[in-house]
Amino acid sequence: MIHLHVEPSKPALGEAAAELGAAAIRSAIAARGAANIVVATGASQFEMLAVLVKLEGIDWSRVTAFHLDEYIGMPITHPASFRRYLRERFASFLPTLGAMHYIDGDAADLDGELNRLNKLIAEHPIDVTFAGIGENAHLAFNDPPADFDATEPYRVVNLDAACRAQQLGEGWFATIDDVPLQAVSMSVRQIMASSLVILAVPDQRKAEAVRNTIESPVSPAVPASILRRHPACHLFLDPNSSALLQRKDQPVGE
């Protein structure tokens, strides 16, 4: 079930998404003494992360965070590195953060890195996954047709032309040839295993993907549509990203 939230502006979207996520983190810590989260990157997450790291009442020393996806072969020094993004926009603001498990996309032993991550996340059931939706409706880097059945928490995926064009369009790369062809991505099943999924999806360029996610049949051709089968998914939109929706004020299931 996807619960829709249409906020009046992009900053308001980020604030609302962050507030809901923070409440879930506080609840997990109160109930269990710890919280496990997944943190996304990209331009859609700027406002949400800027608010989340400043909210009060979260004991970040009790929070373990996981990285959603990363390009293969990407050094942390590259401007497009998602590890760099998370360090600069998330971890650096939280000096007491319990743990931040990054994906080492340029690891010499990539299989070993995947095994390390998959073992770690299996030991940390996820309370909140923060994510977005791509212009091609991808979920993490699971481009269409997405594999809904892959059981590994982290896996190697190929990036399609639309995904790579989005990364270029957002200004992360100088030319399309600079955009990697592969990435390590959290799998659809792992995202679906999160107790709560919070999607921050602003901007007109996401409007068609949002409409397809909500109004098209659930299908690997629209990867984010699978979240209509999730028990607790909240999709935060602004007037631009919600512009093509026929229904904006009710939970949407399959």
Q: What are the sequence ranges of the domains in the chain?
A: 2-237
According to the model, what pLDDT value does residue 101 have? 98
Torsions phi, psi of 232, nearest 5?
Answer: -150, 80
Average pLDDT in the chain:
96
Evaluate if pTM is beyond 0.75.
yes
Place of tokens 């929070």: 63
What is the C-alpha to C-alpha distance for residues 183 and 112, in angstroms, rounded to an integer? 15
pLDDT at residue 248 tops 90: no
| Tokens matching residue 243 | 């512009």
Per-residue pLDDT band at 249 (split at 50, 70, 90): confident
214: three-class secondary structure by DSSP = helix
| Tokens matching residue 20 | 């809901």
pLDDT tens-digit profile of 88-140? 999 999 999 999 999 999 999 999 999 999 999 999 999 999 999 999 999 99
Q: Is 3.40.640.10 the CATH classification of the domain at 2-237? A: no
Per-residue pLDDT band at 224 (split at 50, 70, 90): very high
